[in-house]
Amino acid sequence: MGRVLPFVVCLLAAPVSATVLIPAEFREIVAGSDIIAHARVVDVRAEWVDGRRQINTVVTAEVLTGYKGKVERTISFKVPGGQIGRYRSVMVGAPVFRRGEEAVLFLQSGSSETPHIFGVNQGLYRVRYNRRTGRRLVVSPVLIASGEGPERVVRGSASRRSLELDAFGAQVRAAMALPAARQSESR
C-alpha cells in the first residue's frame, strides 16, 4: 500500500499551468509593439470571453500623442481579468486601469482585432502629473537601456528616477531609430 498511494495521488492530481514572463529590454518592447501612444483612459469595461469561462477588461483611451503605428483619436485594448457582478477574474501581474489615468502604452495586435499590452504589464508606463513643476512624469521606467549591450538593473538606482514625458518620448523615438541605424550599417 505504501508504494501504491503515491502513484494514486499522482494520477488524481490536477494539471497545473503557469505563465512565465521573461523581462524584456526596453528596445525589445519598442520593437515588439505595433502601437505606442501616450493616452488617457476614458472607459473601462469588463466582458465575458471564452464561453463565460474568463473575464477580460476592455480599456478605451484617448490618444494624446502617437509614437508608433496607426494611431486613431481613441484606442481600445484588452487586459486579462476584471469583474462582472459578483464574478471576478484575476491574473497576477495584469494591470488595473481607472478613468482619467494617463500612461504610455506599448500595444501588440497579435492574432486578435483588439490589441493587448506588451508582456502583460511590461508595455505600460504610467504617467503622473507633478503639481510642483507642472510637468508630466513617466513613472520609473526600469528597463531603458542607454547603450547597445545588456545593462545591469540595480534596485534603488538614481538612474531609475521618473522621466519627464518629453524625455521618455525621445527615448522611445531613439529606440525606434536604432534598428534602422543597424540595418544601414550592415549594408
- Domains of the chain plus CATH, in order, are 22-186 (2.40.50)
Q: How confident is the model at residue 178 (pLDDT cuts 50, 70, 90)?
A: confident
Burial class (CB in 10 A: 0-12, 13-18, 19+), 173: middle
Task: Return the DSSP state at 147.
Answer: S
Q: What mean pLDDT comes out for the span 49-78?
A: 94
What whole-number distance in Å separates Cα of residue 57 and Cα of residue 75? Answer: 14
**Which residue type is seen at 11?**
L
pLDDT of 36: 97
Q: pTM score, two decimals?
A: 0.77
Q: Which three cell numbers stand for residue 52?
A: 463565460
Q: Which three cell numbers stand for residue 60?
A: 478605451
pLDDT of 12: 55
What whole-number distance in Å separates Cα of residue 126 and Cα of residue 186? Answer: 36
Residues belonging to the chain: 187
Q: How confident is the model at residue 183 (pLDDT cuts 50, 70, 90)?
A: very low
Residues 42, 74: contact at Cβ < 8 Å?
Answer: yes
